[in-house]
């Protein structure tokens, strides 16, 4: 084999071609997997394209590539994914955090801007991404985060330890383990919201992710309904409920929030211009209320 045939460039190009039909980001996937084997970052690969790969590194790369071609998400193969500049452990017990979910974090931070020492409840935390991002920005917040999956919560708790962020984790089927009583300033969730049987569930990396974290009833609205119905009993007056949902569910979610008595109900668009987060306020006296509006794009 010539030196060129064994170079980083050679292996990356070959892997990119093989991944082309399987991934929306074949080159990036190949770079991330090879960088992981080499324990380097991607910029090192870019700087040393002629560098030959040792046989063990080729074996490592080919093994990861095989799993990627079988549909394993890159995040599971690397064991981590970045969210809100936090490197988070992820496993097949947790959904891979999505960049669009940062909208929920941004919206919550704006909403909380004038509220000191807020009490927050995040339902269905998975890897802990949302709760940890909020705690990182708001050390004064008292945050409870739940998940129905003890395995997911173990991952979230590990992430909290790794980043030294203090969150109360509870195994809970939505509100089941949360006492009634209006104590929270803000409840938020990125629940499962894809309709069972939606062909989208067969696409890309979704089949490898926990279906419990992705799909919810015939219209994808079961979890959203339960979360909205249970929120007024746990929110202080003037408290907020903030939900991520599918891009075609804005009308339905706003309708559910209004039917439950929420005020100032509106939706916000993600970076793709799709309605992605809806929120409302429980009626009652409020101090320092800020309304968040983003112009429609």
Number of residues binding to ligand GLN, judged by CB under 6 A: 6
98 binds ligand GLN (CB under 6 A): yes
Q: Which is nearer to ligand GLN, 98 or 264 (CB)?
A: 98
3-state helix, strand, coil in the chain (%, to 5): 40, 20, 40
23 binds ligand GLN (CB under 6 A): no
**Distance in angstroms (rounded) separating the CA atoms of residues 168 and 119:** 11
90 binds ligand GLN (CB under 6 A): no
Q: In the set 23, 127, 144, 190, which binds ligand GLN (CB under 6 A)?
A: 190
Within 10 angstroms of residue 264's Cβ, the number of other Cβ atoms is 15
Of 240-269, binders to ligand GLN (CB under 6 A) are none
Q: In the set 192, 240, 250, 275, which binds ligand GLN (CB under 6 A)?
A: 192
Q: Is 217 left (phi over 0), alpha (psi -120 to 50) or beta?
A: left
What interhelical angle do 26-38 and 55-69 show, nearest 10? Answer: 140
Cβ partners under 8 Å of residue 121, min gap 6: 143, 144, 145, 146, 178, 184, 186, 187, 188, 234
Q: In the set 38, 153, 194, 277, which binds ligand GLN (CB under 6 A)?
A: 194
Q: Which is nearer to ligand GLN, 204 or 238 (CB)?
A: 204
Smallest separation, CB 90 to ligand GLN (Å):
14
| DSSP letters for 141-153 | -EEEEEES-HHHH
Of 204-233, binders to ligand GLN (CB under 6 A) are 214
Helices (H), the chain: 8-19, 26-38, 42-47, 55-69, 74-78, 102-112, 129-137, 150-162, 222-230, 250-259
Q: Which is nearer to ligand GLN, 129 or 286 (CB)?
A: 129
Smallest separation, CB 140 to ligand GLN (Å):
28
Query: Is-contact 292 278, C-beta < 8 A?
Result: no
193 binds ligand GLN (CB under 6 A): yes
Query: Which of 31-39, 132-140, 186-194, 231-239 is the region at the interface with ligand GLN (rule: CB under 6 A)?
Result: 186-194
188 binds ligand GLN (CB under 6 A): no
Q: Which residues bind ligand GLN (CB under 6 A)?
A: 98, 190, 192-194, 214
């Amino acid at each position: 084999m010539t030196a060129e045939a064994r170079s980083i460039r050679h292996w990356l190009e070959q892997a990119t071609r093989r991944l082309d039909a399987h991934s929306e980001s074949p080159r990036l996937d190949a770079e991330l997997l090879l960088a992981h084997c080499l324990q380097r970052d991607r910029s090192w690969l870019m700087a040393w394209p002629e560098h030959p790969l040792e046989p063990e590194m080729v074996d490592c790369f080919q093994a990861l590539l095989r799993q990627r071609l079988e549909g394993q998400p890159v995040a599971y193969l690397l064991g981590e994914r970045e969210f809100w500049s936090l490197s988070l452990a992820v496993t097949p017990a947790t959904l891979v955090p999505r960049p669009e979910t940062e909208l929920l974090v941004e919206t919550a931070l704006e909403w909380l801007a004038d509220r000191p020492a807020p009490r927050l409840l995040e339902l269905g935390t998975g890897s802990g991404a949302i709760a940890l991002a909020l705690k990182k920005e708001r050390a004064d917040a008292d945050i409870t985060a739940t998940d129905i999956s003890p395995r997911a919560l173990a991952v979230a708790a590990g992430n909290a330890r790794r980043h030294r962020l203090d969150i109360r984790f509870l195994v809970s089927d939505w509100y089941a383990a949360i006492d009634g009583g209006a104590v929270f300033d803000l409840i938020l969730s990125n629940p499962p919201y894809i309709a069972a049987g939606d062909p989208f569930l067969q696409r890309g990396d979704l089949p490898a992710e926990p279906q419990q974290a992705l799909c919810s009833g015939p219209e994808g609205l079961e979890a959203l309904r339960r979360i909205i119905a249970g929120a007024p009993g746990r929110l202080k007056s003037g408290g907020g409920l903030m939900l991520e949902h599918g891009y075609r569910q804005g009308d339905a979610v706003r309708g559910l929030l209004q039917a439950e008595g929420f005020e100032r109900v509106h939706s916000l668009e993600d970076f793709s211009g799709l309605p992605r987060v809806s929120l409302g306020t429980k009626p009652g006296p409020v101090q320092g209320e800020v309304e968040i509006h983003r112009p429609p794009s």
